[in-house]
Amino acid sequence: MATKAVPGAAATGEPTDVATPATAPNPLRKGLRLERIPEPCTMVIIGATGDLTERKLAPALYNLMLGGFLPPEFTVVGFARRDLSDVAFRERLHASVGDHSRNRPVKASIWASFARSVEYQRGEFHDPNAFAELTKRLARIDRDRGTAGNRLFYLAVPPVLHPEIVRQLAAAGLVASGEARDARHKGWTRVIVEKPFGSDLASARQLNREISEVFNEDQIYRIDHYLGKETVQNLAVFRFGNGLFEPIWNRRYIDSVQITVAETVGIEGRGEFYDQTGALRDIVQNHALQLLAVFAMEPPIEFQASDLRDEKLKVLRAVKPMTQREVALSTVRGQYQAGWVAGEQVSPYREEPEVAPDSQRETYAALKLAIQSWRWAGVPFYLRTGKALATRATEIAVQFKQAPLALFERAGASSLDPNVLAIRIQPDEGILLRFGAKVPGPGLQIRGVNMDFRYGSSFAVDSPDAYETLILDCMIGDASLFTRADELERAWEILDPILTAWESGEGGELHFYEAGSWGPAAADELLERDGRTWRHP
Ligand code: BG6
């Protein structure tokens, strides 16, 4: 069970560390979505002048402050190479919040109290002196601000730097154990690690090994921001909080499942990164396989990190890695060419800056996976993702089996489309159930209709950004929405044979598609061979 601060205690300045169930209602803040306030702590953002801090971390922290979810002692230290004063760093954060926060304009009173908790330290990532300085600073912050030795290090830097940085943290005496490997140190130390986590199984294992030389697994929070999305969390509630759906969540009733992560954006100036990465590593390895795991897992014994992650791992273990021949038959890789997306002209991927003019890198991937478990045997899972597609939409569409008898077709009705349950992760978050209904009037005509739940109209509140949820969970010590080392390595085990076959040219050719389309025709053929079609969200 995760150790959580008793909500309300932090507000009175009494850090009380007791085990409480994740779902325990807080009598003081009943009715609020996030009822948990973390203990006082310092968050050190390593790589604090980068894009992630600007677009995600600064807005997330401001919104947590605005929502009253941070304890008054909470402190942020930005650590990066650039020479900046505290004031200049605060101004950068202020501008980032102004540009990217879901709540705007920035409220002056909230900002003023947030800014007081922000400091900056310049340092090279390989310089022991910089980390020694950081140690002194954090000790001073503990004394002056009452942060109790609790530290959260956020590695917002490219993964090649992770091993060096964690070694420096350890050498500077900044790493206390999960809850005390180092007796000199009071309080907890946790580290948030950003994706990409490796580029194949071997490099992911190596990175896991290097980080685990310094941190225990229970201190490592590997972010997959999809798990922090409200709709993804709701997937578990939908399945296990209702009596209606779980009984039909299996091969007896479900014909097939489609998981789509479609983006209209191209590679957004990240040519160098993307040309080494591609859609399979960038989206399928993490976001799409995590959606699959949450969708397909067995009910966990309890709703807590280890049980949830055990169940997700079981799903991934049941996904059989493909042989080279299966890669050629069950996967499609594509790359966008010129086209139009939302009224804007898009140049071909190969003409993007820092992309090789003859690049073979996929900007689109479609796969057919099989989960070889009792529940899912025989149910194909089709996954697809792509850049520069027709629509931005992430959804899981469940297609149900047809009724056993075509009763109405005998009476002259045209054939019915199968029932579909579409779980819209984003945008337009909600859940849609499509079924057949009789068209009013004489005769028997049947048409597909929708029952549609929309977050926007059912709840008056805005959903928090995934980074808000995940940073807060990490401060609380709840790792449920983070990826464990074994899950991550299993995801690479599934994808490694595909990457190898694609990169050797044996796994089928690269198909081109027009920007603004739904991807290459070969992806349609992948389903047509099975007598199915993709749903276009
Ligand atoms: C990131 C990928 O992990 O997820 C990006 O690196 C992608 O390429 C992004 O655009 C999508 O996230 P979201 O939350 O916008 O769907």
pLDDT tens per residue across span 308-326: 999 999 999 999 999 999 9
461 Cβ neighbours under 8 A, 6+ residues apart: 33
* Global confidence as pTM: 0.91
3-state DSSP assignment of residue 189? strand
The response to whether residue 263 sits with its C-beta less than 6 Å from ligand 1 reads yes
Sort strands 510-515 and 331-341 into parallel, antiparallel or unpaired: parallel
The response to whether residue 473 sits with its C-beta less than 6 Å from ligand 1 reads no
- pLDDT tens, the chain, 537 aa long: 333 332 223 333 333 333 333 333 333 333 334 457 899 999 999 999 999 999 999 999 999 999 999 999 999 999 999 999 999 999 999 999 999 999 989 999 999 999 999 999 999 999 999 999 999 999 999 999 999 999 999 999 988 999 999 999 999 999 976 444 444 567 999 999 999 899 999 999 999 999 999 999 999 999 999 999 999 999 999 999 999 999 999 999 999 999 999 999 999 889 999 999 999 999 999 999 999 999 999 999 999 999 999 999 999 999 999 999 999 999 999 999 999 999 999 999 999 999 999 999 999 999 999 999 999 999 999 999 999 999 999 999 999 999 888 888 776 667 788 999 999 999 989 999 999 999 999 888 889 999 999 998 899 888 899 999 999 999 999 999 999 999 999 999 999 999 999 999 888 899 999 999 999 999 999 999 999 999 998
Which domains does the chain carry?
9-194 (3.40.50.720), 227-401+484-528 (3.30.360.10)
Q: How far is CA 52 from CA 45, 110, 194, 496, 528, in A?
A: 10, 22, 10, 28, 40
The response to whether residue 465 sits with its C-beta less than 6 Å from ligand 1 reads no
Ligand 1: centre distance to CA 489 (Å)? 20
Please report which residue ranges of 346-428 form alpha helices under DSSP H: 407-410
Name the residue with the closest Cα to ligand 1, atom 6.
282
Report pLDDT digits (tens) over 148-198. Answer: 999 999 999 988 999 999 999 999 999 976 444 444 567 999 999 999 899
| Ligand 1 atom nearest to CA at 265 | 10
Ligand 1: centre distance to CA 406 (Å)? 43
Q: Which residue of 287, 352, 468 sits with most ligand 1 atoms within 8 Å of its CB, as the best mutation to test the pocket?
A: 287
Q: Which residue of 197, 226, 282 sits with most ligand 1 atoms within 8 Å of its CB, as the best mutation to test the pocket?
A: 282
Q: Round to whole Å and give the CA distance between 49 and 12.
A: 33
Q: What pLDDT does residue 184 have? A: 53
Ligand 1: centre distance to CA 24 (Å)? 33
Name the residue with the closest Cα to ligand 1, atom 2.
282
Q: What pLDDT does residue 19 have? A: 34
- Asked if residue 201 lies in contact with residue 493, where contact means CB atoms within 8 angstroms, the answer is yes
Report pLDDT digits (tens) over 133-151. Answer: 999 999 999 999 999 999 9
Q: Which residue of 100, 225, 285, 396 sits with most ligand 1 atoms within 8 Å of its CB, as the best mutation to test the pocket?
A: 225
Please report which residue ranges of 190-288 form alpha helices under DSSP H: 201-212, 230-240, 271-279
Ligand 1: centre distance to CA 197 (Å)? 14
Peptide bond connecting 380 to the previous residue in cis, omega within 30 degrees of 0: no
Q: Round to whole Å and give the CA distance between 123 and 79.
A: 6
Quickly list DSSP for 68-90: T-S-TT-EEEEEESS---HHHHH
The response to whether residue 282 sits with its C-beta less than 6 Å from ligand 1 reads yes
Ligand 1: centre distance to CA 219 (Å)? 25
| Ligand 1 atom nearest to CA at 277 | 6
Active site residue 94: no
Per annotation, catalytic residue among 162, 225, 287, 511: 287
Ligand 1: centre distance to CA 287 (Å)? 9
- Asked if residue 464 lies in contact with residue 63, where contact means CB atoms within 8 angstroms, the answer is yes
Name the residue with the closest Cα to ligand 1, atom 8.
282
Ligand 1: centre distance to CA 141 (Å)? 35
| Ligand 1 atom nearest to CA at 274 | 8
